A and B are shown apart, each in its own frame.
Chain A
């Protein structure tokens, strides 16, 4: 029965009241008296030597305060990278310098060269045109394989080549994997591209820097998914500001999808300039700038092979992947194609031997980092396309080949050959469920109906596994992370019983203010309306690592549970004192403390009031007040999984693909707010199907970004999709966090691309075109038509 509050209730999102009535307060809504405006001058060429910058004419223009160049940042640190990957030979990755403003060279279109700060934005933009920058264009390298040739231009002179690292995982398994391939009854090989994407959150990035000269206090308002991480990276590594003199605030943030995790040059710039000029400095990205300066996603080129025995059991898997880093290492870029990708290559299967090779490559393109799913969509896409291709080569059903090779429900916890241990899951259940909700049984009839209309109908299936709830700090430390990945919460109970929860997580569309309150309400038994969630300000929230990787409920929510348990324990002691009973006999239910087996009770407010008005209170043994902080460091990742089914119609004349139906059966463990979960899945599906059919970030051979606006970068719209069927009734709770939750934010974007492509290939094969083994995403009408007419 649906609940009307607490865990499991589809409580409407309280934050939507302000978002839908225009009362959200975003970074661009923050205007500080006396602020100046920054306009970044960015490189038009992908690779070039800066011969000279003459800003004298610009500085004489009306309203111009100062023009900054790299010279102003002498002595300032570069933008740091937060993860150091060690390669297959035990060598650490090549890590280039990343100056705040380009110093001597530009390395991608959009690389910031100079910044004009003026009284108004218009004056800054006008003056930017008067800054004379003389650049000698150098040959650019865009293609990853070309970048690794000995005669390739080097993106960074100080490095030995454009190879960031050559990673092998698990290196010790390589020989055994190769041997298994030699013995295989069948080998399926697939080469594919995971297309580069632009995150395009609805709100472009904004940064406002402020400085108080009398106290030395800096404040940065920024569109960030993790203000504490920005404070640490920027404070310690770029500008050398101690944490107590740097406050970072990420207020309402209009979507991130990964692109707002990273520390960007613009944040360091406004913070630095606010002090240099002793006045606030504001920068607001235009959409065009977002295309040039936000970290982009995906961009893998892969060859993957599956070995099978005579009974169609998977015996080994190996991959060769080239992963584009772009021109510089964005904050978490090195970890994405390695630890967030290689460790997922077992997928839902019992493949005993796996070897993953990833070469990360520098090119003269915009940096690449995590984008919704981050490494896991790349892994899932390869694997699920490969299994589909194997089934077609062997003449067996892709559904049955999957079922046969799935990890069985009684095999959990399951140790994969790629390090991770899946705690729980039931892939057979999600497969059955997705076939049921997609009405697979009725597919042939629908295909016949499509055929009668001259359309080719296809059914595509994909399963995924992801690793969320990142992550055990000691483990990621061994893997090269330069940060811990715990989460934090402070629960402040007020005198009259209301509660303010300060979380280190950050909500930028996830609905934390609603779902986190539901957790605390459930634990104490009071109305969620009595509980507020505060996030996004380093001055009042405990040090937390922020929101990405579907981690917030699993890690941040667990910290809230821990802190709330401390509150309950203390409250029980107070109640025991008030009720003159033993603490062990006190029970908390529905916001009331009762002495077990009696009718003696005190309500929640009676206890909280006693804590703050401690007249009748055991002051000799207990402090007054009711406020607790907890840090939670997970002991494992969480492993959401699911089965996705896509049904398409392909128009044989034009190659246009229409999504007729899309069904998702996910296992997210326990669910706190089913409505929010459904919304997360729907949004993920939209982005995943967008990647599969429409979105593509394109560069020409000179490194010019060709898809630099929504005219050329096709963002999906509501009318590109049917209504999705989303189900999360199959759930195997996570065994190692107190909520039993797994995370749902990225699943849709991970599982959907292979389901779409598998459906299109199915449609073509059913029409007799079994020669078309693969089409690279996005499956635009032109690509599908070209494949059909090759």
Chain B
């Protein structure tokens, strides 16, 4: 699946650029992110808990920044392995543009899933990926613009769709 969108952030490009290279900022922005360690040069190792439709899993994987043109554009790509749940990978090409209000981020997102995620969750992947991307940039925007501290969300699970609690037993059985 692919999508393109843009978002205006009330901060100068230099600030926005610095933010996107900061692992703490990434951790705050990636929905369901439990930890991010590493560096721009070596890549970041991330642990993310996500639920896609009936499949909930803790993904461990690498996030890499590439095609870096300082202040102008970069590509964020990541691949997470969720054990028996399969894997997810995706990337965003992000461009930074100075506008009177601050910075315009334009992004093209691509996402793919594999294994059980694809077998059981393919119907909802497009919607899920769009929601993830929107949420990422929303949280990123909040984190950059402040003034409030970047929140760690109380519930790290970004619900792909509202799932009643009693359903979890069934989902667990499915994935066991």
Contacts and interface: CB of A to CB of B under 8 A. Distances in A.
B122 A706 contact: yes
- Chain B's interface size range is 10 to 19
B176 A705 contact: no
Contacts of B116: 44, 288, 708
B45 to A, nearest CB: 16
B83 A702 contact: no
Given A128-B84, A129-B84, A45 B114 contact: yes
Nearest to B85: A44
B116 to A, nearest CB: 7
A712 to B, nearest CB: 6
Given A125-B176, A128-B84, A129-B84, A44 B114 contact: yes
B120 A702 contact: no
B118 A291 contact: no
A288 B119 contact: yes
A709 interface: yes
Given A44-B115, A109-B114, A125-B176, A700 B122 contact: yes
Contact of A702 (B84, B114, B119, B123): B114
A332 to B, nearest CB: 26
Contacts of A441: none
Contacts of B59: none
B137 interface: no
Nearest to A41: B84
B108 to A, nearest CB: 18
Nearest to B119: A708
Nearest to B82: A44
Contact of B119 (A45, A125, A128, A706): A706
Contacts of B83: 129
Interface residues of A, number: 21
A678 to B, nearest CB: 36
B120 A44 contact: no
Interface in B56-105: 83-84, 86-87
Interface in A109-142: 109, 122, 125, 128-129
A291 B114 CA distance: 15
Given A109-B114, A706-B118, A708-B118, A44 B123 contact: no
Mostly, the A contact residues are loop
Interface in A265-302: 288, 291-292
A705 B84 contact: no
Given A125-B176, A712-B123, A704 B118 contact: yes
A288 B115 CA distance: 11
B161 to A, nearest CB: 13
Nearest to A287: B174
B133 interface: no
B113 A708 contact: no
Contacts of B118: 109, 700, 704-706, 708
A711 B119 CA distance: 9
B142 interface: no
Interface in A30-76: 44-45
B87 A44 contact: yes
B122 A712 contact: yes
Contact of B120 (A122, A698, A708): A708
Most buried by A among B87, B113, B119, B176: B119
A125 B114 CA distance: 19
A708 B85 CA distance: 13
Contacts of A44: 86-87, 114-116
B106 interface: no
B89 to A, nearest CB: 9
Contacts of A288: 116, 119-120
A709 B119 contact: yes
Nearest to A44: B115
Contacts of A109: 114-115, 118-119
Contacts of A128: 84
A291 B176 CA distance: 17
Contacts of B86: 44
A424 B146 CA distance: 85
A125 B87 CA distance: 18
B120 A711 contact: yes
A709 B120 contact: yes
A292 B120 CA distance: 12
B112 interface: yes
B145 to A, nearest CB: 37
B120 A704 contact: no
Nearest to A43: B115
Given A44-B86, A44-B87, A128-B84, A291 B112 contact: no
Contacts of B87: 44-45
Nearest to A701: B112
A709 B123 CA distance: 12
A278 B83 CA distance: 31
B124 to A, nearest CB: 10
Contact of A705 (B112, B119, B123): B119
A700 B125 CA distance: 12
Nearest to A130: B83
Contacts of B119: 109, 288, 291-292, 704-709, 712
A291 B119 CA distance: 9
Contacts of B176: 122, 125
A340 B119 CA distance: 31
Name, among A125, A707, A708, the residue most crowded by chain B CB atoms within 10 Å (CB to CB): A708
Contact of A704 (B84, B113, B123): B113
A128 B116 CA distance: 15
A442 B62 CA distance: 67
Interface in A545-581: none
Interface in A674-715: 698, 700, 702, 704-709, 711-712
A142 to B, nearest CB: 13
Nearest to B53: A711
A603 B104 CA distance: 100
B165 to A, nearest CB: 20
A150 B89 CA distance: 28
B7 to A, nearest CB: 28
Contacts of A702: 112, 114
B125 to A, nearest CB: 9
Nearest to A129: B83
B2 to A, nearest CB: 12
A45 B113 CA distance: 10
A700 B116 CA distance: 13
Interface in A564-618: none
A382 B115 CA distance: 34
A53 to B, nearest CB: 15
A123 to B, nearest CB: 12
Contacts of A712: 119-120, 122-123
Contacts of A698: 122
A292 B86 CA distance: 13
Contacts of A700: 112, 118, 122
A346 B120 CA distance: 41
B163 to A, nearest CB: 14
B76 to A, nearest CB: 19
A694 to B, nearest CB: 15
Contacts of B120: 288, 708-709, 711-712
Contacts of B112: 700, 702, 704
A707 B120 CA distance: 7
B176 to A, nearest CB: 6
6 contacts: A129-B84, A700-B122, A702-B112, A704-B122, A705-B118, A712-B123
9 smallest CB-CB distances across A and B, nearest first, come from A708-B119, A44-B115, A704-B118, A706-B122, A44-B114, A704-B114, A44-B86, A129-B83, A709-B120
Given A45-B87, A288-B116, 10 more contacts: A109-B114, A109-B115, A122-B176, A129-B83, A698-B122, A700-B112, A702-B112, A707-B122, A709-B119, A712-B120
